């Protein structure tokens, strides 16, 4: 059974339709890549899963339960954790306070998060606003993990970061996968994303046009769906 199952979702912004039938699923322990060129509907899909946009048609099932139309905080409480684009943390709380404010019972504890990102341990007493962009991103991931989500969603988590920091984040993602964390990832870095993904879904003009393993996503298909 899939942990998350999105089927035929159609979502609108006012009168303007953004999703025309998105389907994807994430099984327990999988890393699933959600791909597509700019404006194809990745963020809207994530917003539809999280309850930030209510799908007008289709279903979103999480852990066997229909969640389309539920309020975002209820969906979060069911175990969907988001690392948002643009790494939002509380700027005037310290690293430690940011992490503890997110904490919920489960395998991910402060110690484990700090072990995953030792930098957060070194900076524990600093205000989040004084962190570098990469450190803030680590903190955003750390915060999401502290909620012990059954499904972690990463939306462009490596965007705009220095190469060394990106490498650290990919290392962390591979470790999360090794620990059995289920993850849905949106990222443009195919060279990093494809090797770690168990399966991928590609969106074009608001609809799923490819579903399969990374090996099935041949260079020709990559060029067709993702090339510039
Ligand atoms: P990107 O990689 O650029 O973030 P994306 O694949 O995440 O793109 P979306 O942001 O989901 O794509 O956008 C899908 C479609 O919905 C686009 O046509 C976009 O113009 C439209 N859209 C997104 N946000 C809004 C909004 N707030 N109001 C109206 N239309 C929107």
Residues 92-127: tens digit of each pLDDT? 999 999 999 999 999 999 999 999 999 999 999 999
111 within some domain:
no
d(CA 123, CA 81): 23
Which of 17, 18, 225 to probe ligand 1 with, by most ligand atoms within 8 A of CB? Answer: 18
167 within some domain:
yes
pLDDT for 143 beyond 80: yes
| E strand map for the chain | 2-13, 16-27, 31-35, 57-62, 65-66, 80-83, 151-155, 182-186, 199-204, 207-212
State the distance from the centre of ligand 1 to the C-alpha of 17, rounded, in angstroms.
10
Percent of the chain with pLDDT over 70: 99
Q: Which residue owns the Cα nearest ligand 1 atom 8?
A: 39
3-state secondary structure of 6: strand
d(CA 224, CA 200): 15
Residue 87's pLDDT is 67
**Neighbour-count burial of 185, counting CB atoms closer than 10 A to its CB (0-12 exposed, 13-18 middle, 19+ buried):** buried
Say which CATH number the domain at 74 has: 3.40.50.300
39 within some domain:
yes
d(CA 44, CA 55): 10
pLDDT for 144 beyond 70: yes
Read off the pLDDT band of 69 (50, 70, 90).
Answer: confident
Residues 194-216 have a mean pLDDT of 97
Domain hosting residue 61, numbered range: 2-80+148-226
Closest atom of ligand 1 to CA, residue 203: 6
91 within some domain:
no
220 within some domain:
yes
Structure tokens at 112: 């484990």
Which of 33, 40, 157 to probe ligand 1 with, by most ligand atoms within 8 A of CB? Answer: 40
**Neighbour-count burial of 1, counting CB atoms closer than 10 A to its CB (0-12 exposed, 13-18 middle, 19+ buried):** exposed
d(CA 116, CA 112): 6
pLDDT for 185 beyond 90: yes
115 within some domain:
no
Residue indicated by tokens 């620990």 = 179
Domain count of the fold of the chain: 1
d(CA 176, CA 188): 19
93 within some domain:
no
90 within some domain:
no
- 11-31: pLDDT as tens digits: 999 999 999 999 999 999 999
Residue indicated by tokens 């979502």 = 11
Model-level pTM greater than 0.90? yes
Contact yes or no for 97/123 (Cβ under 8 A): no
3-state secondary structure of 109: coil
């Amino acid at each position: 059974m899939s942990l998350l199952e999105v089927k035929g979702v159609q979502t609108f912004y006012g009168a303007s339709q953004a999703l025309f039938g998105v389907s994807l699923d994430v099984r327990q322990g999988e890393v699933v890549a959600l791909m597509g060129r700019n404006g194809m509907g990745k963020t809207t899909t994530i917003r539809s899963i999280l309850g930030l946009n209510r799908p007008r048609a289709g279903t979103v099932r999480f852990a066997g339960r229909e969640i389309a139309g539920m309020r975002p905080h209820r969906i979060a409480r069911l175990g969907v954790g988001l690392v948002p684009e643009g790494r939002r943390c509380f700027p005037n709380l310290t690293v430690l306070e940011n992490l503890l404010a997110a904490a919920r019972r489960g395998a991910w504890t402060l110690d484990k998060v700090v072990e995953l990102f030792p930098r957060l341990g070194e900076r524990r007493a600093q205000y989040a606003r004084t962190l570098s962009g990469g450190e803030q991103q680590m903190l955003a991931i750390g915060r999401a993990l502290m909620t012990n989500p059954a499904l972690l969603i990463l939306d462009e988590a490596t965007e705009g970061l220095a190469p060394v920091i990106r490498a650290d984040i990919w290392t962390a993602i591979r470790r999360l996968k090794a620990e059995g964390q289920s993850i849905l990832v949106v990222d443009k870095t195919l060279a990093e994303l494809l090797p770690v993904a168990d399966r991928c879904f590609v969106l074009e003009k608001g609809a799923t046009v490819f579903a399969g393993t990374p090996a099935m996503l041949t260079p020709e298909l990559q060029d067709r769906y993702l090339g510039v």
